[in-house]
Amino acid sequence: MDIIEYIKLVFTDYTLRTITLGTAILGAVTGMLGSFAVLRKQSLLGDAISHAALPGIAIAFLLTGAKDSNTLLLGALVSGLLGTFWIRGIISKTHLKSDTALGLILSLFFGFGMLLLTFIQKQPNANQAGLDKYLFGQAATLLESDVWMMAIVTGICLLVLLLFWKEFKILLFDADYTKTLGFNTKIIDILITSFIVLAIVLGLQTVGVVLMSSMLLAPAAAARQWTNSLSVMVFLAAIFGAFSGVFGTAVSASQNNLSTGPVIVIVASIFVLVSFIFSPTRGLLFKQIRFIKNRRDLQLHKTLAFMYNIVKSHENISHPHAIKILNNFQGYTKSTLQKLVSKNYVTLNGSMWSFTEEGFKIASNLYNQQTDNNE
Amino acid sequence: MENKIAVKVDDLTVAYNYKPVLWDIDLEIPEGVLMAIVGPNGAGKSTLIKSILGILKPIAGSVSIYDEPYEKQRQLVAYVPQKGSVDWDFPTTALDVVMMGTYGSLGWIKRPGQKEKKEALEALEKVGMLPFKNRQISQLSGGQQQRIFLARALVQNASIYFMDEPFQGVDASTEIAIINILKALRKAGKTVIVVHHDLQTVPEYFDWVTFLNVKKIATGPVKDIFNDDNLTKTYGINYKVSIQE
């Protein structure tokens, strides 16, 4: 299936259109909110919340017997929120550190959820099949109503973000200071956290409990590499998330037996990988290149400064000197000398070198700067 | 000269777990002083400031600003936290951080506009950081970051300034720049309270001092109470400091 054909299919095929739209919206909203989780250093909170949502799904099914996603996700929301506030309670009331609290709640809720799932599966009820899709997600089960739900929540989330942008930003940067300005930081905090929980719950059907946290973190981590502005970061994270959804769906739809959720997560991870290597300011590649270039420049400057020290005692600045007197200086190599020649700072004549006018000028300024800095 | 009392602390007691960090602190800070809070590590200096500002909840005690409860007088007070208390890799610029000083007077939801931007630029100018206004904050040196924090408090245009170790980890030129700004604030009738570590500079920089070590040891004019007796009581060792006249 070629690309054009696939794009046509996205617009004509009901299922494919629903899934593509759903995963795109999901990716955008989790990317946006994920930025806040990442900047608050609460990356693991997402993982804990998604796992904590599982027993809620099971209990909602046991209570109502219903299988429609809205009922089950409401259960997930309640138990996700419960888990979150439990974690915060543990952190503030006991001596336990946040990673311990997260780990405890994550495994406790997930364990309880699994217990309930196995219990449900043993029941003589034809309705029980399909609950395990919430473990790893099954995008194919998305309905148009689910997508509408996602779109509405995303809309509300966007509105809240725009309204409370200033409050969110200052709380993320400096919570104590925010308090002294008279803002109720608890309200801002609960608002952010609740929306993070909501976004995670929305994604459970598509990506599943186990992989959901990477939807939250990957687009945000990738976006952070490309910008130093919070608004651009949130925007980029939304774009990366949405594209992960669209690409992931496309890859899994064009191959047999590739489930959508994991593919989306892998695509999002590729965004992260590429960003970490190729981002111009923070990326590993350009950092390394800058580092090497810097070392070479310094080596060159050191050699120039050394040469200047020799030359300055002579009346004639272009007086030739033997190359071998440079040998006891460690910064000097044949290639640095070549580079000085190519920059027209130095001329070579046999085994002798001499400064050009320009080279002398550069070297003397360099030298002055260095002594200035030392003072 | 009878000065008004800018900050009044009554019976303030703070504990994190069982052991009190601050015990029964009574403190009156007159208007227009430049005051150092000194004491050994763990004496509760930062805790005192944070409790006055309502960041920490005390077990007992009350704080009033110009004879009214602190909660009512918040807009009169500005705070400069310790530089190390935030993550400087946060994606934002120097100007943006300084703009945060205007958020309090803006209140909920309302966004900063041209007026706020102008105020922030003026504050940046005062601390000599205008050329760095668009710099990502992680690209600033420690001294520059401290100046940004100071500018953010200046934007608040408060009457009382609380600063938590503003001289920690800054270069000599920044230290001089900051102390000059603090002295200018005092000249303008503001009250400035600074958690300070370097005892040698106390007589030179400050005119008022509070000795703190869980309990309040002494508070008053530097020329009257900054002596070996109080230093020894606070630090527990025989502390000899030459006071410059």
Closest CA to A262 of A298, A208, A301, A217: A208
Q: Look at residue A72 and tell me if it is in a domain.
A: yes
Cβ <8 Å between B55 and A169: no
- Picking from A8, A5, A15, the residue whose alpha carbon sits closest to that of residue A249 is A15
Are the beta carbons of B93 and A229 separated by less than 8 Å? yes
Whether A53 and A79 have beta carbons less than 8 Å apart is answered as: yes
What's the rounded Cα separation, in Å, for the pair A323 and B10?
Answer: 78
Tell me the H-state helices in B109-236. 114-126, 142-155, 172-187, 202-205, 222-225, 228-235
Establish if A371 belongs to a structural domain. Answer: no
Question: Which residues are CB-contacts of A221 (< 8 A; sequence separation ≥ 6)?
Answer: A38, A272, A275
Chain A contact for B245, CB < 8 A? no
Q: What is the pLDDT of residues B10-23, one digit of tens each?
A: 999 999 877 889 99
Give the residue from A266, A282, A298 where a domain finishes: A282
Half-sphere exposure of B206 (CA within 13 A, CB side): 28
- Per the CB < 8 Å rule, is B111 touching A166? yes
A167 in B contact zone (CB under 8 Å): yes
Query: How high does pLDDT run on average in chain B?
Result: 92
For residues A246 and A20, what is the distance between their CA atoms, to the nearest angstrom? 5
Side by side, the strands of the sheet bearing A346-349 are A321-322, A352-355, A346-349
For the entire predicted model, the pTM comes to: 0.87
**Nearest-CA residue of chain B relative to A164?**
B109
Do A144 and A131 lie in a common domain? yes
B50 touching A, CB under 8 A? yes
**Interface touch A164/B50, C-beta < 8 Å:** no
In a domain, A372, yes or no: no
In a domain, A174, yes or no: yes
What would the mean pLDDT of B124-131 be, rounded to a whole number? 95
Range of the domain at A303: 287-364
Residue A182 and residue B106: Cβ atoms within 8 Å? no
- For residue A348, tell me if it sits in a domain: yes
Number of domains in chain A: 2
* Chain A residues with beta carbon closer than 8 angstroms to that of B50: 176
Spatial neighbors of A39 by CB under 8 A, at least 6 apart, are A172, A220, A230, B87, B90, B91
DSSP element (H, E) containing B38: strand B34-38
Which DSSP symbol is given to B135? S
Q: What is the mean pLDDT of residues A190-218?
A: 92
Q: Which value, in Å, is the radius of gyration of the alpha carbons in chain B? A: 18
Q: Is residue A260 part of a domain?
A: yes
Same domain, residue pair A255 and A352: no
Higher-scoring residue by pLDDT: A243, A297: A243
**Top-confidence residue, A346 or B84:** B84
Residues A76 and A195 in one domain: yes
Q: Report whether pLDDT(A252) > 70.
A: yes
Least confident window among A220-229, A317-326, B139-148: A317-326
Q: Which among A170, A227, A233 has CB closest to B100?
A: A170
Comparing A194 with A43, the larger pLDDT belongs to A194
pLDDT over 60 at A297, yes or no:
yes
Is A181 touching B (CB cutoff 8 A)? yes
Q: Specify whether A233 is located in the same domain as A137.
A: yes
- Rounded distance between C-alpha atoms, residue A75 and residue A201, angstroms: 9
Neighbours of A158 (CB within 10 A): 14
pLDDT digits (tens, 9 = 90+) for B26-71: 999 999 999 999 999 989 999 999 999 999 999 999 999 999 999 9
Tell me the nearest-neighbour CA distance from B159 into chain A, angstroms. Answer: 14
Report CB contact under 8 Å: B91, A170: no
Residue A314 contacts B, CB cutoff 8 Å: no
> pLDDT at residue A350 above 90?
no
Q: In this structure, are residues A272 and A221 in contact, taking their beta carbons and an 8 Å threshold? A: yes
Q: What is the pLDDT of residue B176?
A: 94
What percentage of chain A reaches a pLDDT higher than 90? Answer: 54
**Do residue A247 and residue A337 come from a single domain?**
no
Q: Specify whether A291 is located in the same domain as A272.
A: no
Give the span between the Cα atoms of B172 and B12, in whole angstroms.
35
Interface of B with A in 11-40 (CB under 8 A): none
Q: Are residues A247 and A322 located together in one domain of the fold? A: no
Check if the beta carbon of residue A50 is closer than 8 Å to that of residue A170.
Answer: no
Return the residue in B75, B77, B87 with the most chain A beta carbons within 10 A, the one to mutate for interface testing. Answer: B87
Q: Is B88 on the interface with A (CB under 8 A)?
A: no
In this structure, the answer to whether residues A100 and A120 fall within a common structural domain is yes
CB A336 within 8 A of CB A306: no
Whether residue A92 lies within 8 A of chain B, CB to CB, comes out as: no
Are the C-beta atoms of residues A280 and A222 closer than 8 Å to each other?
A: no
Res A59 pLDDT > 70? yes
The CA distance from A102 to A44, in Å, is 7
B60 burial via Cβ count (<10 Å: 0-12, 13-18, 19+): exposed
Token duo for residue A225: 């590499």
Residue B90 at interface with chain A, using a CB cutoff of 8 Å: yes
Let me know if residue A370 belongs to a domain.
Answer: no
pLDDT, tens only, A94-145: 888 888 999 999 999 999 999 999 888 887 765 666 788 888 888 888 899 9
Would you call B86 an interface residue with chain A, using a CB distance cutoff of 8 Å?
yes
**pLDDT score of A373:** 42
**What is the CATH classification number for the domain harbouring A348?**
1.10.10
CB contact under 8 A, A173 and B75: no
Task: Identify the pLDDT of residue A375.
Answer: 32
Cα angle for residues A31, A32, A37 (degrees, 5° grid): 85
Handedness of CA A61, A64, A68, A69 (dihedral sign): negative
Residue A373 falls inside a structural domain: no
pLDDT band at A331 (very low <50, low <70, confident <90, very high): low
Whether residues A180 and A303 share a domain: the answer is no
A344: amino acid identity, one letter = N
- Pairing label, strands B20-30, B5-15: antiparallel
In this predicted model, what pLDDT tens digit does every residue of A146-191 receive, in sequence order? 999 999 999 999 999 999 999 999 999 999 999 999 999 999 999 9
Q: What is the DSSP code string of A43-74?
A: HHHHHHHHHHTHHHHHHHHHHH----HHHHHH
**Domains defined for chain B, CATH in brackets:** 5-235 (3.40.50.300)
Is B132 within 8 Å of chain A by CB? no
- One-letter amino acid identity for A211? L
Check residues A65 and A33 and name the one with the higher pLDDT. Answer: A33
A49-53, A324-328, A354-358: which range is least confident on average? A324-328
Choosing from A244, A266, A282, the residue where a domain stops is A282
Q: What CATH number corresponds to the domain at position A132?
A: 1.10.3470.10
**The pLDDT of residue A129:** 67
Q: Are residues A39 and B90, on separate chains, in Cβ contact within 8 Å? A: yes
The yes-or-no verdict on residue A371 having pLDDT over 60 is: no
Which residues of chain B are within 8 Å of residue A236 when distances are taken between CB atoms?
Answer: none
Q: Are residues A170 and A73 in the same domain?
A: yes
Question: Chain B residue closest to A174 (CA)?
Answer: B86
Residues A149 and A63 in one domain: yes
Lowest mean pLDDT across A16-20, A313-317, A346-350, B14-18: A313-317
Q: How confident is the model at residue A303 (pLDDT cuts 50, 70, 90)?
A: confident
- How many C-beta atoms surround the C-beta of residue A107 within 10 A? 12
Q: Which of A282, A308, A337 is the last residue of a domain?
A: A282
Mutation to test the A interface, candidates B86, B161, B171, most A Cβ within 10 Å: B86
Same domain, A147 and A213: yes
When the pLDDT of each residue in chain A is averaged and rounded to a whole number, the result is 87
- Measured between alpha carbons, how far is A48 from A84 in angstroms, rounded to an integer? 8
Helices (H), chain A: 3-12, 14-39, 43-52, 54-64, 69-93, 98-121, 133-136, 144-163, 165-173, 175-180, 185-207, 212-224, 230-254, 260-278, 284-311, 334-342, 357-374
For range A270-290, the mean pLDDT: 92
B56 touches chain A (CB under 8 A): no
Cβ-based contacts under 8 A for chains A and B: 77
d(CA B37, CA B30): 14
Measured distance CA(A186)–CA(A181) in Å, rounded: 14
- Six token digits for residue B71: 């909660």
